[in-house]
Structure 1
Amino acid sequence: MGSIAEYPPSESRLFKPLKVGHSTLPHRVVFAPLTRLRNDDNHAPLPLMEKYYADRASTPGTLVISEATSISHGEEGNSNNPGLVSEEQVEGWRKIISAVHTNKSIFFQQIWGMGRASNPDVLATRGFPYRSSSAVPMKGSENVPREMTEAEILETIENFAETAKRAVLAGADGVEIHSAHGYLLDQFLTASVNQRTDKWGGSIENRSRLTLAVVKAVVEAIGAEKVAIRFSPYAGFQGSEKSDYVELYTYLISELKKMNVQFAYLSLVEATGDPGTLIWDQKQIHGGKTLDFILEAWDNLSPVIVAGGYRPDSAAWAVEERYKKWDVMVAFGRHFISNPDLVFKVQNGIPLAPYNRPTFYCRKEWAGYNDYPFSQEFLDKYSQTVHPMTEEESKALGSL
């Protein structure tokens, strides 16, 4: 296997076309879904978000995936995270999607339920129950969620489908179903969290039932080529560890393939991409845990996004060596925050600007969000694609 240094990003498969859903992407560098808490107090996008997304879509043909967006007001479980339910919320996302499309890039809306990962105080203030697959609290928490009723589970499936419809009506090219990292769907997949004794818990087949039902409902609502799914087989974030991950995800992939449809893509988080660790070690990249068993089973049914703390050199190595048998795209998260022109920099060998972690989740703030500059090289070539809104203009359009 070749070394990372052997593969210049600009000459690698990172910059070879790939068909994703109804679109053909000119490159394989993906803007990962990133919670940033820049929505207003009603969970609707603030005007400053339009600039943020447009800027990161500024290299034409970039696949942009939204931050995780709630499928119902009862799943808006943290202050200033987004929903896609009310007319105000939908209109805000419509403007963002339009800005991404203006820059000739592709937009997928990531949709989720939060379940026990919600802040129970935030839910209580708004009159919504704190609930999960079972009455199992988060580690270290005294707040015990209520086990969801079957009626609530069925409503959740419907909410995913209806939210997918709203996303497409707002202009999205598709949706990504979030079944990872200890959020609601993953709470049903995880045996230590899901202790139900009905058809929604217990066996792998039962624990998988909700995720698969959601996928089927969303496919029926908007069409399979507009549907993607995200899994994190190795994550331990929010109590999502799974001792049966090989059997579980092998079953999930098998059932997805039985649907006999063409999905837009499958999104997978490597062992190095767990939000609880965020480790990248080139000497032992996967700690012995790889995505190979999923990729072998998926067998290039559709492209796969991999996420795991990548940098330009390691991303090029990944598509050329690590995943050379498969149609893989590489997601960038933290580095995309501080480099709105990241795709351009990767292609042209321009060093990446460092990010400032303490400002990642500064609610409703411009700083740490829209104050990272474009490179001069990018401005010289693509100045017309930089969204011109200033902080003052943003405040004038909507109070921060």
Structure 2
Amino acid sequence: MRRRTVLRLGAVALAAPALATAAPGTAAAAPRLRVRGADVSSLAKGEDLGGVYHHADGRRDDAVRILAGAGVNWGRLKVWVDPADGYHTRPHILRTARRLHAAGMKLLVDFHYSDTWADPGKQFKPAAWEDLHGAALERAVRDHTADILGALRAQGTPAAMVQIGNEINGGMLWPDGSTDDWPRLAGLLTAGAEAARAASPGIRVALHLAEGGRGADTRWWFDNAVAHGVPFDAIGLSFYGYWHGTLADLQANLNDVSARYRRDVFVAETAYPFRLDSEDFLENIIDRPSELVPGYPATPEGQAAWLRDITAVVAAVPGGRGLGLFWWEPTWTAVPGNGWDPADPASGNGWENQALFDYDSRALPALEVLGRG
């Protein structure tokens, strides 16, 4: 997801469509989602640097216990190959997986196949794979995927689902895995999927795109994946209402692709601000009233309303194919040193106003909405 924070720092930006919203309050009769998830990738580093968390009433507690106690039942963790700060690698994935498992939560592992953020604007090869191509690159994908998932299984905390790539609208491992060359991209995706299934039998393989409101683009991508024989079990879409269209656009896309490909669907990433000002020195990604979705103010109540309404959208997918959703980085609070750039300890966090903990590190009302699902 990192492209959003670096939009003002020179990364490739995607044009934002016109925004609108579904009628508030549509979630009242929605059934409970099977996946009520939180991406807690930044949690380990934040805690190591002194981050703490509290219940809404001010009681300090372990962040994972707070999430699980609210009803969150899945955790999502990204994996990088050799990042500058050493996080999002095997030791930290294993450590956090043990905590999630102890709290009764299932795990989705999100492979970026990069040393840093991978998203629609950038899919950089890991430095160690820079000179690998063809079968050698596919072997690296297989080995890396099997290493992480095999280690999780060996310690008794197997992943329940895996993403082969992160927001791979334009492919992954560029230039080799670009959508300009679908046979090569399909080979890399298949290598990851097959390795995942071999290393962790019973795991569900998901493919993840951004821009969840863009139905034609989603169909084009998955039509190609199916035509090239890429194996997958579920479709994940990022959906941020200030970038990716309306809730009606998301509903239409989820309904269409779940029926078209006969797969379960889920929102792999969403979030919304509870305020606009920044707690640290770095301006937030969403920090102006003009950037908000109409009908959803940047308040704790507005954040909770957004989550209720996107929950209703997923729950309304026909045939029970709407698995659920993940809130992106609800625990990424403004802890000095835990900024967006793994190579720069002085970098700030542009996301703390979209966490599910306020600037006093107390749980916000939206966390209860997420857990009730």
Question: Which category of TM-score, normalised to the shorter sequence, fits these structures?
Answer: 0.5 to 0.7
Report the RMSD for the aligned CA atoms in angstroms. Answer: 4.8
Residue of structure 2 equivalent to 1:172: 158
Listed one character per residue, the Cα deviations across residues 223-260 of structure 1 (whole Å, up to 9, x for unaligned) are 2x32332411549xxxxxxx97643322325667x85x
In structure 2, the residue corresponding to 1:65 is in which secondary structure? strand
Q: For residue 178 of structure 1, report the CA deviation from its aligned partner.
A: 4.1
In 2, the alpha carbon distance for the partners of 1:79 and 1:47 equals 16
Query: Structure 1 residue 229 and structure 2 residue 210: aligned?
Result: no
Contact map agreement 2:209 2:237 (CA 8 A) in 1 = yes
Listed one character per residue, the Cα deviations across residues 255-285 of structure 1 (whole Å, up to 9, x for unaligned) are 67x85x8x4x432223x37xxxx63775x86
Structure 1: runs of 5+ lacking an equivalent: 19-27, 119-127, 133-144, 236-242, 339-354, 380-400
2:317 pairs with one of 315, 324, 347? 324
Contact map agreement 1:304 1:327 (CA 8 A) in 2 = yes
In structure 2, the residue corresponding to 1:12 is in which secondary structure? coil
Query: Structure 1 residue 250 and structure 2 residue 269: aligned?
Result: no
Structure 2: runs of 5+ lacking an equivalent: 1-20, 53-60, 119-124, 273-302, 369-373
CA 1:31/1:103 → structure 2, altered by over 3 Å: closer, same or farther?
same
In structure 1, the residue corresponding to 2:108 is in which secondary structure? strand
Contact map agreement 1:305 1:329 (CA 8 A) in 2 = yes
Which structure: larger Rg? 1
Listed one character per residue, the Cα deviations across residues 273-301 of structure 1 (whole Å, up to 9, x for unaligned) are 7xxxx63775x8659994555333232x3
Residue of structure 1 equivalent to 2:269: 307
Instruction: Please tell me the residue identity of whatever aligns with 2:89.
Output: G
In structure 2, the residue corresponding to 1:58 is in which secondary structure? helix
In 1, the alpha carbon distance for the partners of 2:260 and 2:46 equals 38
In 2, the alpha carbon distance for the partners of 1:359 and 1:253 equals 43
> Using CA pairs below 8 Å that are at least 6 residues apart, which structure has the higher relative contact order?
2
Contact map agreement 1:269 1:307 (CA 8 A) in 2 = yes
Listed one character per residue, the Cα deviations across residues 29-84 of structure 1 (whole Å, up to 9, x for unaligned) are 211354467189xxxx8897994444333334511112x123xxxx2133242211
1:297 pairs with one of 260, 271, 291? 260
Residue of structure 2 equivalent to 1:279: 243
Q: How does 1:101-250 map to 2 (within 5 A)?
A: 101-114=101-114, 130=127, 146=131, 148=133, 150-170=135-155, 171-181=157-167, 186-188=171-173, 193-194=174-175, 203-223=181-201, 225-234=202-211, 246-250=219-223
Q: For residue 222 of structure 1, report the CA deviation from its aligned partner.
A: 1.1
In 2, the alpha carbon distance for the partners of 1:297 and 1:79 equals 42
TM-score (norm 1): 0.55
Instruction: Please tell me the residue identity of whatever aligns with 2:243.
Output: I
Whichever structure has more helix as a proportion of its residues is: 1
Q: How does 1:309-388 map to 2 (within 5 A)?
A: 309=271, 311-321=303-313, 323-325=316-318, 326-334=321-329, 336-337=330-331, 361=339, 372-374=361-363
In 2, the alpha carbon distance for the partners of 1:312 and 1:255 equals 41
Listed one character per residue, the Cα deviations across residues 100-155 of structure 1 (whole Å, up to 9, x for unaligned) are 2333322333333206859xxxxxxxxx97367xxxxxxxxxxxx65646324313
Instruction: Please tell me the residue identity of whatever aligns with 2:191.
Output: A
Identity value in percent = 6
In structure 1, the residue corresponding to 2:151 is in which secondary structure? helix
TM-score (norm 2): 0.58
In 1, the alpha carbon distance for the partners of 2:245 and 2:134 equals 43
Q: For residue 164 of structure 1, report the CA deviation from its aligned partner.
A: 0.9
